[in-house]
Each structure stands twice: as C-alpha cells, then as structure tokens.
Structure 1
Amino acid sequence: MAGLVTTLLFLVVCLSWGTTWLGIKIAVESVPPLTSAGLRFLIAFPLFLGFALIRRESIFFPRKNFGFFIFVTLCYFSVPYYLLNYGEQYVASGLTALLFSSMPVFILIFSSIFLREKIFFSQVVGIAIGFGSLFMIIKTQGLHLDYSELFGVIAILIAAVMHALCYVITKQRGAEIGVITFNTLPIGIAGLGLFMTGLALEHPDLASVTQRSWLALTYLGLVASVGGFIVYFFLLKRLSPVILSFVFIIFPVFAVLIGAWYEGTPISRQLILYSMLLLAGFAITKLPIERLLGWGR
C-alpha cells in the first residue's frame, strides 16, 4: 500500500507540473507576463505563510545568508518566471516544457563548475542527443524562429539555466535552510515585485481579464505551486533524489499531450520520435552508464 501511494503521488507531481505550462499559456492570454507571474505568487503566498505558521518555521533566512536570499528571490522566482510567462506568449506549452526539461543538463554543467562533480563521457553523449533532438523538434514543428518566437525560445532556455544555477548554488550555500523558509518570503516578495512592476510597465486592465485566465492563475498558485511543492518534498523524504529527479523527464510528456489536446494540434510521428530521443538523452545525463557499471570508481 505504501508503495502504491508513493507511485500515485509521483504521478500527481508529474501531472501537476505537466499542466503548469498549459496554465501559464492560458493565463497570459489576457494577463501580461509580469503581472501574470506576480499574481500567481501572490495567490500562493498566503498558503505558504500558513504552512510556516502551522509548522512554526521561520520565514526569514539566517542573517549570514542575506545575499543568498536576494539571489533566490531574483534568480529563482522573479526573473525566470517572468521569462517563462513571456516565452509562452509565442511558444506552445508542450514545446515550452520540452525546452525547460533541459534544466538537469545545466545542473550537471554547473555542478561540474561549482561543486567539482565529475562529468562522464556518456553524459556528454546524452547532452548531445538531447539538444540535437530539441533542435529537430523546433525545426519540424514549424517554428521558423522569427523575432518573437526566437526570443520566446531564448527566454525559456534562460529560465532553465537560471533555475539550474540556483539549484546548484543552493546545494553549495543553502543546504541548511528549510524548504518552507526557502520558498515563503521569496515567493511573497517576488510576487509583489513582479505585480507592481507589471502595473507600472504593462498597465494591465484587470477588469478585462477573462475567467479562463483567472482560473488558470488560481490553479497555478494553489495547485501547481503549493500542491506540487508539498507532494514533491514529501516524496523527497521517501525516494532517492536520482529517481525523483526523473520528474523532470516525465512531466514534459504530460505537457505535450495536454497541450496538443487543448491547442488542437496533432502529435506527429516526428514529434514523438524526437521527444523520446530528447528525454532519453537527458535521462542518460542523470544515470551515466559508467556509474551504473562501476567504471567511474
């Protein structure tokens, strides 16, 4: 029974994070990207604050980690989520998820630079397969990468790079900080900052926001941000980090299927083939053949 519950929760995380991309796509239909990202976090913040109060955990980072707190607020929450919202104005939700699934590769690269972790040859091959497949997906899906589409793709990849860097720096400098502390105040400040910046620069007409966009923002704030977060860190205590990290390989599959259904676009054989190659390549970076065979000892 415990194994069945763990498996179901694993699928819940994959599904909630897989639907995040469609939620962002619907939200930015009538809400500009800065304002949309800010509203999502402002919706999520009270729940995180409630969890902190219930668990009697501080929402403040240790004083010695103030610089790290600023880094997390800006480089994990504020800038990347604006870039994701901006990119999804021009890029399909399924393709956005596939682009973002490259994040573990950047984690591998940054881990080698900052943590001196070894990169195996098979991981280099996996990176080449993954990014080669990603290029073919972009090419075969009819993206001609005009000005808007090109900057949308670049924005999503930069968000993936920034998240990867933040994960590695957190492992190096913030491992002792609790999960609720790590998320609560940065989400609140990032949400307020993004929303106020959106009001100043985007001048959103909140009265004209569609019901669909409000529902998407509510879903992103309550389910994808808070619910996905709670289940993910519940599983982190019960599963190997390597096994759990395959969430980043599996959720793009959900995202592609759900996005294709919602947007009414057929899933071609080429998309299936290159998506499988992409995810297989990125999976190799997480489970290098040399380590499995004991060659890297």
Structure 2
Amino acid sequence: MKQIPRYKLLIILSFFAIYVIWGSTYLLNKIAVSEIAPLLLAAYRFISAGLLVIIIALILKLNLKISKKQMLNSAIAGFLFLTYGNGIFVWALKYVDSGFAALEAATQPLFVILLMRILYGVKMAVKSILGVFLGILGMFLLVHQDGLDLNSHSIIGMLMILSAVLSWSYGSIFVSKADLPSNFFVSTAYQMIFGGLMLFILSFGLNETWTTPEFWSYKVQTAMVLLVIFGSIVAFTAFNYLLKVVSTEKVSTSAYVNPVIALILGWYFLNETITLQSIVAAIVLLLGVYFINSRKATIPKKIKLVKRPKY
C-alpha cells in the first residue's frame, strides 16, 4: 500500500481540523453553556488557550516582545473578536440552536462587504451584490418559518448573534490595517489573553454566577477541554498552516462546510430540528457566501478577510 507523503497527510489533517473541529465548536459551546455562565465560559476558554499558546511560544523560543501600540491593538482585536464577538455569541446559544447560529455566523463575508461599502466607499462587484442579495434572502427564509418556535428570548438571541457577526466583520477590517505582532502565534496569544480578561471583567460586572471546573459535569468538562485544545489551538494552527501551503480560496471553503457540520451535530446530539425550509435557506445563504468569496467579487487586497475566530 502506497504511503501518503507527510506534507499531504498534514494538509488532509489540517482540512479535517478546519472543517470538522471548527464545525463542532457550535455544539461544544452549546453543551458547555448549559452549565456555565456564557461570558465566564468564554473567559475560561480564551485565558486557558492564550496561556497554553504562550507556553508553546516559549518552547519554540518565539519573541514575545510587544510594543505599546501592538498591545493596544491586540486588546482592541481581542474585544472585537473574542469579548464581544465570541462572548455574546456564546450568550446567545442559550436561546438559539447551534446549527441555526452557525448559519447566522456564515453571513460574515456579507457584513464585511457592506462595511467596506459604508466605511470606505468600496465599489461592490456584480457577484458581491448578488451574494449580498442571496445572503439576505437566505436569512429571511431561515427566520420566517411556520414551524420555528420563536419567543422574545430566541429573537433577541438571533439579533445578538448578528451583532456578534458584525463585530467579527469589523475586526477583520481592523486587523488587516492594525500594527500587531508579526508572528500569528504570538498575536493570537495576546488577543486571547486580553479578550479573556475583558470577558472576566464583563462577567463580574454583570453578576454572572461563577463556578469552577470541579462543579461541572463530566460532559461539560470534556466540552471545555475540546474547545481549548482542539477548537482554540489545533484548528487555528491548522488554519494558518493551510493559508501558507494552499490557496486562500480552498481554505475559505470551511465557511460552507462548518454550518453543515454544525447542523448535523446539533440534530444528532441535541435533537435540534432541521426543516426543509432550513435546508433551502442554508443552500441559498451559503450560495451567497460563495459569490462574495469568489475572485471576481473582490475585497481590496489591502483588506484581508479574517474568518470568524473560533480559536
């Protein structure tokens, strides 16, 4: 039997990480938030992951020095991506199905295109306009379902997820222009630590109930370990590795696969409902994301679209 070359095996495993592991983070967060206050959950996750990355960076003898400006920018990025972007997202998972939330998260390229138009007057290509239209149509179909059990909490949850997506989207634009540590591993560590510290402060300020790991169920403890090690470190490292060895277009295909994985896992493990209209809405929405991500639906080269950080 012919052996797969090492570099090809690494590519295969890396794609598995950004497809399946990242797709599973919605389920894992949904499980963990059943027992842990949402902002505290996100704080635990990112502080733990950030410290682990710092330890790895020290082992690899990477330069951890950072300027005051880079520190401020890391804090801003940490807030946009993790404190608000991920913290509010996890909070909303108390009221929204994980698969539904994943489809909402897939609208990020749509928000980036609209922000670029509003903030910088960037002209939208025909494919971008079509992608925005399909994205809005997909969201409309997703929300307007007769069988969907909507209440005030779920509606607020949906709206807060969209605001979190808006935060990630602006974070993408901010990071593309900001002065940050050149090594992505070091930059990620600082963003996680700053974002995690702000989440702790916000959790304390909102008087969330604080619990420690020994009081969590085994299921929740397992979900948290998987989120920190695999969702935050392994998958993110794989993502950055793939950006170096394959085309950005191929890496961006995770935007179409993650919601599908999340829908299937939510249905299988949490008995979340998948209706025919949800499937149609997912196809329309992801088709819109495809048009926005395609080469001719250009985002200016100086703006690098940063995919939603699942870190």
- TM superposition score normalised by structure 2: 0.85
- Residue 114 of structure 1, CA deviation: 5.3
Deviation at 1:105, TM superposition (A): 1.4
Q: Given that residues 291 and 297 in structure 2 are in contact (C-alpha distance below 8 angstroms), is that contact kept between their aligned partners in structure 1? A: no
CA contact (8 A) 1:61 1:177 kept: no
Larger deviation, residues 271-280 vs 108-117: 108-117
Structure 2 residues without counterparts, runs of 5 or longer:
299-311
Q: Which residue matches 1:167?
A: 172
User: Map of 1:65-80 to 2, 5 A cutoff?
Assistant: 65-80=70-85
**In the alignment, structure 1 residue 252 sits paired with structure 2 residue 240:** no
Q: Does 1:193 align with 2:198?
A: yes
1:127 aligns with 2:147: no
Compared CA separation, residues 145 and 266, structure 1 to 2 (3 A): closer
Q: Is the 8 A contact 1:120 1:288 kept in 2?
A: no
- Quote the Cα distance in structure 2 between the aligned partners of 1:196 and 1:162: 19
How far apart are 1:142 and its partner, in Å?
A: 3.6
1:271 shift after superposition: 2.1
> Contact between 1:13 and 1:232, CA under 8 Å: does it hold in 2?
yes
Q: Which residue is equivalent to 2:304?
A: none
Displacement of 1:23 in angstroms is: 0.6
The aligned length equals 291
Measure how far apart 1:63 and its partner are.
2.8
Q: Identify the match of residue 204 of structure 1 among 174, 187, 210.
A: 210
Which one of the candidate residues 44, 53, 57 is aligned to 2:58? 53
- In 1, Cα distance between the equivalents of 2:232 and 2:56? 13
Which residue identity is paired with 1:231?
A: A
Kept in 1: contact 2:79–2:195 (CA 8 A): yes
3-state SS, counterpart of residue 81 of structure 2: helix
**Partner of 2:124: helix, strand, or coil?**
coil
Which deviates further from its counterpart, 82-91 or 193-202?
193-202
Aligned pair 1:149/2:154, yes or no?
yes
Map residues 277-288 of structure 1 onto 2, 5 A cutoff. Answer: 277-287=284-294
Deviation of 1:56 (Å): 2.5
TM-score, length basis structure 1: 0.89
Greater displacement, 19-28 / 199-208: 199-208
Q: CA deviation at 1:265?
A: 3.5
Report what 2:225 is aligned to: 218
Provide Cα deviations, 1:168-214, integer angstroms capped at 9, x if missing partner. 11112237632122211221232233235434511224354222122
Candidates 22, 34, 49, aligned match of 1:17 = 22
State the distance in 2 between where 1:290 and 1:166 align.
20
| Cα displacement (A) at 1:65 | 3.2
Paired with 1:64 and 1:43, the residues of 2 have a C-alpha distance of 24
**Shift of residue 266, structure 1, vs aligned partner:** 4.7
Aligned equivalents of 1:171, 1:128: Cα separation in 2: 26
Coordinate RMSD, CA, aligned: 2.3
Query: What is the SS of the residue equivalent to 2:278?
Result: helix
Report % sequence identity. Answer: 23
1:29-40 to structure 2, matched below 5 A, reads: 29-40=34-45
Following superposition, the deviation at residue 115 of structure 1 comes to 6.1
Paired amino acid for 1:239: V
Distance 2:140 2:33 in 1: 25
Show the counterpart of 2:236. Answer: 229
Query: Residue 77 of structure 1 contacts residue 187 of structure 1 at CA under 8 Å; is this kept in 2?
Result: yes
CA distance in 2, matches of 1:149, 1:60: 44
Distance 1:268 1:143 in 2: 9
1:157 deviates by 1.0
The alignment partner of 1:237 has SS state of helix
State how far apart, in whole Å, the 2-side matches of 1:81 and 1:39 are: 12
Structure 1 residue ranges without an equivalent (≥5) = 292-297
Alignment of 1:41 onto 2:51 = no
**What is the deviation of 1:150?**
1.3
Higher helix share: 1
Q: 2:186 is matched with which residue: 181, 192, 202?
A: 181
